[in-house]
Amino acid sequence: MATIYVTGHRNPDADSIASAIGYAELKGRLDTRNTYVPVRLGACNAQTRWLLDRCGAPTPQLLPHVMVRACDVMNSDFPVARLQAPIRQAGLEMARSGLERLAIDRGAQLLVLSNDSEPGDDILALASERGIAVIVSPLDSYVSGRMITLAAPCDALMERDPLTATTEFLVDDISEQIKESHYGAAVVIDPNRRPVGVVTRSDLVAPPRRRVLLVDHAEQAQSVSGVEQAEIVEILDHHHIGSIETRIPVTATFDPVGSTATLVVERFRHSGMEPSPPTAMMLLGAVMSDTIILNSATTTDRDRLVVDYLERVLALDAADYGRQMFEATSDVSEVSAEEIISRDAKQYHVSSGHQICIAQVEVVGKSILDRSEELVQAMRKARENRELQLYALMVTDVLTKGTDLLVDGDVAGVARAFGLTAHDSQIELPGVMSRKKEVAPKLLAAM
C-alpha cells in the first residue's frame, strides 16, 4: 500500500483543508490499493480551526516537505548479530535474508556456499562480472566456516563507528557519504539510536518518489516543499492553470467553480457516495468560505446545487452556518499586522520573472483600515525580505461586499489597471470580492 498525500496550498484556507479531507475520504473508498492521507502545509487559519472544531473532523497532519527521506528508501528487514556472535552466524543470517548478493556488492572477493547450496544464476552472473570466486562447499556451514577461519567474533571485524542517519534524514544529504564509505551503507537509527533500517548504494539508484495529490492549487510556489521531486498523481483545482510541471501524464482538473470543495462533493455524488457527516460539514463550510456565502463573483449554479444538497444531507441552514463562521472569525483587532498580511497570502510568478504576493483578509466593518499604515509597512518588510515585486492586501468586507486594496509597490500602476486612482497606498474596489477572478488577473496583467 503506497501512501498518497492529499494536499491543498500553503497558508491553508478552509477550502484547501476541507478539500484535502473530503477528497482523501472519497479516493480512499474508491481506490483501496493506496492509502490517501489528508495533510496541511501550515497552521490552519481561524476560520478553518472554527470549522474543524464545529464539524468534529480531525486536523490533517502537517507535511513539511515531500523530499525523499532515509525511511523512504531504507530496508527495514535486515540481519542483526550480537558482538560476540561468530561471523559464521552473521553469514547464515545474511544468507537467510537473501543478502549473498549484497555480500558481493560490499566488495567480497570470495563467496563460499555450504551444504552444496546452488548459487542462483543472478549471483553467478554478478560474480563473474566482478571477477569474484564462488566456492560451493559440500561441508556444512560450521565446518566450512572453520575451514576458512571465519569463527572470529563479529566485533573483531565490525565497523565501530558506522555511518548513521535518522529516518527523517534527506537521502540527498547522505547519498555522497554512503557512496564514499567502503561498506557502501548507512545504518538508519531511531531516536534511541537503535537500528531500524539499512540504506545501501543500490537503494540510491532509483529512489521511490513520494506521491502527492494536489487540491485547490497548481502553482509550484504555493505547493509543498520538494514537490518537484515528488510524483503528482492528480490535480483537482478551480484556479487558473499554474506553474506545476509533471513528468508523466496525470488527471488534472481545472474547473471554474466557486470552490474545490464543490468539485469534491460533485465527485462524491457521481460515485453514488455520500461524505461522512464531519466531512460534509467541512465541505459545506469551505464552499461558504470560498464563495463568501455564495456572494463572490466566482459563485456558480453548481456551487448552489452543492450547497442545496449538503443542506438536505445535514439538515441545516447553510447561509446561517456561513454567517456564524464569518462572524466568529473575522475580528482581527487582536491580530498582528504580520499575521494579517501573511495568513491568507498567495504568491504568483509574473512575466518579468519576478513574483508578487496577494493576501486577503475578510472583515466585517472597516475598522481594520485604521491600521493601514502599519499593514503597508509589514508588507514592505515582507516584500524586501522575499524580493517580491509587489505585495497587495485585499481587505474584503463580507457584509457590504467590497474590497479596499492596500498595496506596497507600484500603487499607481495597480490603480491604473483598475481604471482608478489610489489614495496613499489604498485603492477602493466596490463590489470586488474575488482575488482569483477580479484582482489577481488584473495585477498579473499589469506587472
Residues 293-352 that bind Mn ion (CB under 5 A): none
Q: d(Cα 385, Cα 380) in Å, to the nearest integer?
A: 9
Question: Which CB, 26 or 422, lies closer to Mn ion?
Answer: 26
> What's the min distance (Å) between Cβ of 445 and Mn ion?
21
Helix, strand, or coil here: 359? strand
Question: Which CB, 260 or 279, lies closer to Mn ion?
Answer: 260
> What's the min distance (Å) between Cβ of 378 and Mn ion?
24
Q: What element of type H or E holds 400? A: none
Q: d(Cα 265, Cα 283) in Å, to the nearest integer?
A: 7
> What's the min distance (Å) between Cβ of 15 and Mn ion?
3
Instruction: Name the DSSP class of 423.
Output: B
For position 237 contacting Mn ion by CB under 5 A, the verdict is: no
Question: Which CB, 2 or 241, lies closer to Mn ion?
Answer: 241
Q: d(Cα 31, Cα 273) in Å, to the nearest integer?
A: 14
Residue nearest to Mn ion (CB): 15
> What's the min distance (Å) between Cβ of 47 and Mn ion?
12
**3-state DSSP helix/strand/coil percent for the chain, to nearest 5?**
40, 20, 40
- What is the phi/psi pair of residue 344, to 5°? -130, 70
Q: d(Cα 199, Cα 185) in Å, to the nearest integer?
A: 5
Stretch in the footprint of Mn ion (CB under 5 A) among 34-42, 91-99, 213-221, 293-301: 213-221
Number of chain residues interacting with Mn ion (CB under 5 A): 4
Q: Hey, what's the cell of 79?
A: 540481519
Contact between 429 and 289 under an 8 Å Cβ cutoff? The reply is no
Q: d(Cα 431, Cα 296) in Å, to the nearest integer?
A: 9
Question: Which CB, 267 or 416, lies closer to Mn ion?
Answer: 267
Question: Which CB, 48 or 372, lies closer to Mn ion?
Answer: 48
For 293-354, list the strands marked E by DSSP. 345-349
Question: Which CB, 260 or 425, lies closer to Mn ion?
Answer: 260
Q: Starting from the edge strand earliest in sequence, which strands make up the sheet with 390-397, in order?
A: 345-349, 355-363, 390-397, 402-408, 426-430
Place of cell 441552514: 317
| Binding track over 239-268 against Mn ion, x by CB under 5 A | ---------------------x--------
Q: How far is CA 393 from CA 229, 286, 341, 356, 375, in A?
A: 32, 21, 6, 11, 8
Distance from chain centroid for Cα 67: 9
> What's the min distance (Å) between Cβ of 278 and Mn ion?
19
Helix, strand, or coil here: 127? helix
Q: d(Cα 69, Cα 229) in Å, to the nearest integer?
A: 12
Strands 110-113 and 133-136: parallel
Stretch in the footprint of Mn ion (CB under 5 A) among 157-165, 285-293, 311-319, 358-366: 285-293
State which of residues 72, 100, 216, 362 lies at the interface with Mn ion (CB under 5 A): 216
Question: Which CB, 45 or 372, lies closer to Mn ion?
Answer: 45
Question: Which CB, 42 or 413, lies closer to Mn ion?
Answer: 42
Residues 26-45 that bind Mn ion (CB under 5 A): none
Stretch in the footprint of Mn ion (CB under 5 A) among 240-248, 289-297, 398-406, 420-428: 289-297
State which of residues 290, 344, 397, 408 lies at the interface with Mn ion (CB under 5 A): 290
Residues 70-99 that bind Mn ion (CB under 5 A): none
> What's the min distance (Å) between Cβ of 261 and Mn ion?
8
> What's the min distance (Å) between Cβ of 258 and Mn ion?
8
Question: Which CB, 142 or 254, lies closer to Mn ion?
Answer: 254
Distance from chain centroid for Cα 341: 23
> What's the min distance (Å) between Cβ of 404 and Mn ion?
22
Question: Which CB, 15 or 234, lies closer to Mn ion?
Answer: 15
> What's the min distance (Å) between Cβ of 435 and Mn ion?
10
State which of residues 6, 7, 9, 15 lies at the interface with Mn ion (CB under 5 A): 15
> What's the min distance (Å) between Cβ of 37 and Mn ion?
20
Question: Which CB, 93 or 255, lies closer to Mn ion?
Answer: 255
Q: d(Cα 283, Cα 306) in Å, to the nearest integer?
A: 10
Q: With CA atoms as reference, report the closest residue to 29 among 270, 268, 279.
A: 268
Q: d(Cα 285, Cα 291) in Å, to the nearest integer?
A: 10
> What's the min distance (Å) between Cβ of 259 and Mn ion?
5
Stretch in the footprint of Mn ion (CB under 5 A) among 9-17, 74-82, 376-384, 391-399: 9-17
Q: Which residues bind Mn ion (CB under 5 A)?
A: 15, 216, 260, 290
